[in-house]
Structure 1
Amino acid sequence: MEEKDLQKLSETEFIDQYKKTEKDKYEKPSIATDMAIFTVATKKVTDNRKKADKELQVLLIRRGGHPYKGDWALAGGFMGIDEDVETAVQRELKEETGVDGVYAEQLYTWSAVDRDPRMRIVSVSYLALVDQEKLPPLQAGDDAEDVRWFTVKDRVTESRDERVDGTVTRTEKIELKLVSGEVIVSGTIEKITVTEGANTRTAVTIIERNGIAFDHTEIILYSLERLRGKVNYTNIAFNLAGEEFTLPDLQQIYEVILDKELNKVQFRRHVENMVVDTGKEIKTGAYRPSKLYRYNAAWVYEQWK
């Protein structure tokens, strides 16, 4: 039936005819979700005179089957035909972390033609943050050999700028290193950012991949960039802090996210309206008691005034 004839039908008739003659004309990609699930873990200490350090960790699953069998990948899965992406993400988060109501925000849609050797798969990635204290013991699913929290380290190993006729091209090589006990995996990307006036475009290529499946090196680094970009002007870090926390612990969370030390006075000035004193104290090790605070839920609304 020609297009002009199709448009003479009622909408119900049109949809019925379309399903019979047009629906299967085009090869369809599958839709998946990939989730960069982060937590902040506290290292164990045997000397109570020392304060326990914290570290940023990401959840990875060791693949039990092809492709990339034995490599480590982000949590995720395919979206069901009767699901929307948000429903699929919350289902996967519950399955992987055992926790309901996990903070998750959509990051980016990854659609490179060759990103998965099996078939055409478009993935919608999410950044998720989980409070360590709420996490049950990890348990690998049926299609995984292992599941672990990996400490995250990244660094720029090379950076150069070129300026030609008002166009600035920055080329960076960024290394990602993930460590869990004796298991170490890594990847390196080349990131080229071209700025012409107010217009900026970026291209990323994975140039080295050691044990990280698919394009997940790029997704993890992109997630880190988003997390760091938001931590200074939003309440996002409080999703990693628990219901009650000390200010030194909160500062450590900011520091492990930003990967740098912060000035104590400036930090407390930054968060003073974001926290509420609970009136309680906690004593840890040989240190004097510290005040316990909670997040000030009214802070968000105060920003709108």
Structure 2
Amino acid sequence: MDIEQLRDKQGLTEAEFLERYDASIYERPSVTVDMLIFTVMDEVKENYRKLPEKSLKLLLVKRGVHPYLGQWALPGGFVTQTESLDEAALRELKTETNVDEVYMEQLYTWGDVSRDPRTRVISCSYMALVDGSLLEVKAGDDADEARWFNVSYSVLEEKKTLLGKDFVFEKVVKITLSNDTDTLEAVVKVIEKYVGKAFVVEREIMVSNGIAFDHAEMIQCAVERLRNKIEYTDIAFNLMPEFFTLSELQQVYEVTLGKELLSAAFRRKIANMVAETNQFTKDAGHRPAKLFRFNPNWRYL
């Protein structure tokens, strides 16, 4: 049977149905993409004999228009009628950082009815990891400036509750974003509910100082995703330059996870993920260290 000739209950073929379809029947929400662009950078050296400290950073833009004029937000923008979500995210990434072909993954879709005071807006958030040495950050059309912020993430309290066979886990998270001129803070409550085989996550912004929209929730979600994935994937290497020392790699893991790691255990963990080179560091003030590079075939070893 020719599928194009199938008729519905009104006696219409698909072509006839589409020709008569009225798209105005349903009010259509606007769609945006928001980018959580992370990198790891060296802080200023206080002692040239020591390795520079590293910090996990997130790119934010200062809003130059209403709403939330003067507050800091994630880079992003509206999706046009002629591009997919991924294409819109790549466009925003290129616009804000002038880089492409980097690691990027879809994080979560945010659809609370009142999340944007302008109109009904659904946002799809993306997480991107970039090598800081490649970046040339610039603000977009609706932003006054773009800046990197150090990310501090801590759990203030946790509570577990058993309700028969169901389980509820609550935690309150504090996020501090800072650089040499601004400090932003947010407190987010996260409630994870396990009801039978169903799993539901709810988030509530308890405090938000200087962070626009519901972007504090997005940041909390992204840091959790990043910390979880760095434990069992090679995602951390997207934050590294082509050549690096094992000490530098361990620093990146530590600032991302927010904890110190035992060197011996760490080197066993990443042994197959790296490949030795015949190159060494040439920094003055300390002994040369062997340089390594990422081994993309580590999964097959």
* TM-score, scaled to structure 1: 0.93
Give the equivalent residue in structure 2 for 1:47.
47
Identity of aligned residues (%): 45
Instruction: Give, in whole Å, the separation in 2 of the partners of 1:251 and 1:172.
Output: 28
User: Could you list the runs of 5+ residues in structure 2 that have no partner in the other structure?
Assistant: 1-7
User: Could you list the runs of 5+ residues in structure 1 that have no partner in the other structure?
Assistant: none
Q: Which amino acid aligns with 1:9?
A: L
Give the equivalent residue in structure 2 for 1:84.
84
Residues 52-80 of structure 1: CA deviation (Å, up to 9, x unaligned): 00000000000011111111000111111
Give the equivalent residue in structure 2 for 1:56.
56
Give the equivalent residue in structure 1 for 2:9.
4
Between 1:232-241 and 1:277-286, the stretch displaced more is: 277-286
Between 1:271-280 and 1:199-208, the stretch displaced more is: 199-208
Residues 104-139 of structure 1: CA deviation (Å, up to 9, x unaligned): 100111000011010111011111001011112x22
The offset of 1:276, in angstroms, is 0.7
Instruction: Give, in whole Å, the separation in 2 of the partners of 1:235 and 1:158.
Output: 30
Between 1:163-172 and 1:233-242, the stretch displaced more is: 163-172
Instruction: Give, in whole Å, the separation in 2 of the partners of 1:168 and 1:25.
Output: 41
Give the equivalent residue in structure 1 for 2:25.
25
SS of residue paired to 1:232: helix
Instruction: Give, in whole Å, the separation in 2 of the partners of 1:206 and 1:73.
Output: 15
SS of residue paired to 2:253: helix
Given that residues 75 and 96 in structure 1 are in contact (C-alpha distance below 8 angstroms), is that contact kept between their aligned partners in structure 2? yes
Residues 18-57 of structure 1: CA deviation (Å, up to 9, x unaligned): 1xxx210111011100110000010111421222000000
Given that residues 76 and 92 in structure 1 are in contact (C-alpha distance below 8 angstroms), is that contact kept between their aligned partners in structure 2? yes
Give the equivalent residue in structure 2 for 1:181.
180
Give the equivalent residue in structure 2 for 1:225.
224
Give the equivalent residue in structure 2 for 1:286.
285
Instruction: Give, in whole Å, the separation in 2 of the partners of 1:37 and 1:63.
Output: 17
Aligned pairs (5 A) from 1:108-257: 108-136=108-136, 138-196=137-195, 198-257=197-256
The offset of 1:167, in angstroms, is 2.9
Instruction: Give, in whole Å, the separation in 1 of the partners of 2:260 and 2:206.
Output: 30
Given that residues 48 and 285 in structure 2 are in contact (C-alpha distance below 8 angstroms), is that contact kept between their aligned partners in structure 1? yes
What is the count of residue pairs matched by the alignment?
294
Q: Which amino acid aligns with 1:16?
A: E
The offset of 1:215, in angstroms, is 0.6
Instruction: Give, in whole Å, the separation in 2 of the partners of 1:98 and 1:77.
Output: 16
SS of residue paired to 2:106: strand
Q: 1:197 to 1:26 in 2, by over 3 A?
A: closer
User: Over aligned residues, Cα RMSD in angstroms?
Assistant: 1.4
Between 1:200-209 and 1:174-183, the stretch displaced more is: 200-209
Residues 79-112 of structure 1: CA deviation (Å, up to 9, x unaligned): 1100000111111110010012121100111000
Given that residues 49 and 285 in structure 1 are in contact (C-alpha distance below 8 angstroms), is that contact kept between their aligned partners in structure 2? yes
Between 1:59-68 and 1:167-176, the stretch displaced more is: 167-176
Aligned mate of 2:18, from 15, 19, 26: 15
Instruction: Give, in whole Å, the separation in 2 of the partners of 1:270 and 1:176.
Output: 29
The offset of 1:283, in angstroms, is 2.9
SS of residue paired to 1:252: helix
Given that residues 73 and 216 in structure 1 are in contact (C-alpha distance below 8 angstroms), is that contact kept between their aligned partners in structure 2? yes
Instruction: Give, in whole Å, the separation in 2 of the partners of 1:207 and 1:108.
Output: 20
Q: Which amino acid aligns with 2:124?
A: V
The offset of 1:287, in angstroms, is 1.7
Give the equivalent residue in structure 1 for 2:68.
68
Instruction: Give, in whole Å, the separation in 2 of the partners of 1:50 and 1:288.
Output: 11
The runs of at least 4 aligned residues of structure 1 exceeding 6 Å deviation read: none
Between 1:56-65 and 1:99-108, the stretch displaced more is: 99-108
